Amino acid sequence: MKKIVYVVFIIAVIGLAVNLLGNRTSQDTGLAKEIDSLLEKGETQIDLTGLTNFKWTQVSLFGPYTTDESIENSMNIEFKGDNGGIDILDDRFLLVFANEKHAVKTVVLSRKHGTYTIKDNKFLVVDR
């Protein structure tokens, strides 16, 4: 009987861990460095499809003090994971890449280059 209780307990813990950790987005610091390098070289329009090595169907950009709930509502996705502090900091923008209904990667962009927009769901455009 004790073995059955332990097995049920372990299955419940694993199920909870998968639910909490599944479909969590992570911050892509390598992509952030690539974008920053291109911006330092004077680029004003960057094709994100050529820089990414993961699957995504939509990308959106968010400014300072954006909440996770606002990201979810704006993109019609489930957003769990690293928001780069966008909800409390005013020195950054956040790119959010989503595949279907889940965010897959985020990229923190510095405001030092200007303001950003997304064009045609694939280009990052900077206005200096």
What is the helix (H) or strand (E) element at residue 105, kind and residue range?
strand 102-110
The tens digit of pLDDT for each residue in 60-77 reads: 999 999 999 999 999 999
The tens digit of pLDDT for each residue in 29-42 reads: 999 999 999 999 99
Residue ranges per structural domain of the chain: 24-127
Q: Are residues 122 and 47 in contact, defined by beta-carbon separation less than 8 angstroms? A: yes
User: pTM to 2 decimals?
Assistant: 0.82
Alpha helices (H) along the chain: 2-21, 29-40, 48-51, 68-75
